[in-house]
A and B are shown apart, each in its own frame.
Chain A
Amino acid sequence: DTGVSQNPRHKITKRGQNVTFRCDPISEHNRLYWYRQTLGQGPEFLTYFQNEAQLEKSRLLSDRFSAERPKGSFSTLEIQRTEQGDSAMYLCASSFTGRNTEAFFGQGTRLTVV
């Protein structure tokens, strides 16, 4: 296993377009997390899955954001009608269940909305 993989690494889109990002977690991990990180800030929680079930979604997340994890494997994060404020690094992480387990992060997808 090569770790958490995210695609694409970079995405430039025009305001108003829809974008979709993909995350392939470490295969044994049942938890998958999405975070958003802007320059100079820490990762901000967006949502997380336990297998295929979405257990929590941040109240900061607008209805334009949706995430899925079909069959408990890879996950997609879609942003509809992108806005300039959506420009950020989107990080995916996976882990085993448990508060003591470390999260393994991907390299992120950098979104630029122009």
Chain B
Amino acid sequence: AQTVTQSQPEMSVQEAETVTLSCTYDTSENNYYLFWYKQPPSRQMILVIRQEAYKQQNATENRFSVNFQKAAKSFSLKISDSQLGDTAMYFCAFNAGKSTFGDGTTLTVKP
């Protein structure tokens, strides 16, 4: 069974600054993908970024990037130039057929 752990229940950051959200996972699978999803207040969950486990290069999507450390089973999300619209709950997810989610980190971006 896979487990996903997000150790930071809440975080805050000043607008325009950088913040890193942590995620660790445990699995015996070799073929899997990792995702970060964003769930804004009262809105549906949407994909932020994905990482293929067999790729060493870290994924980047505009202001969002990941630090993927396969041996350590770590998959953190870095948000640069934080914006007020980034305020949301962020979920790390592991997919080896179906997605297993962490319990999320609530991020508040302060003006």
Contact = CB atoms under 8 A, between A and B. Distances in A.
Interface string B24-57: 0000000111010100000111110010100000
A100 B98 CA distance: 10
15 contacts: A3-B44, A35-B101, A41-B103, A42-B101, A42-B102, A43-B91, A56-B97, A56-B98, A91-B45, A93-B45, A93-B99, A100-B95, A103-B99, A105-B46, A107-B43
Contacts, number: 54
Given A99-B31, A99-B97, A100-B50, A107 B103 contact: no
Interface residues on B, range: 20 to 34
A41 B104 contact: yes
A85 interface: no
A63 to B, nearest CB: 21
A96 to B, nearest CB: 12
Nearest to A3: B44
Interface in A65-114: 91, 93, 99-100, 102-103, 105-108
Contacts of A91: 45
Interface of A: 3-4, 33, 35, 40-45, 48, 56, 91, 93, 99-100, 102-103, 105-108
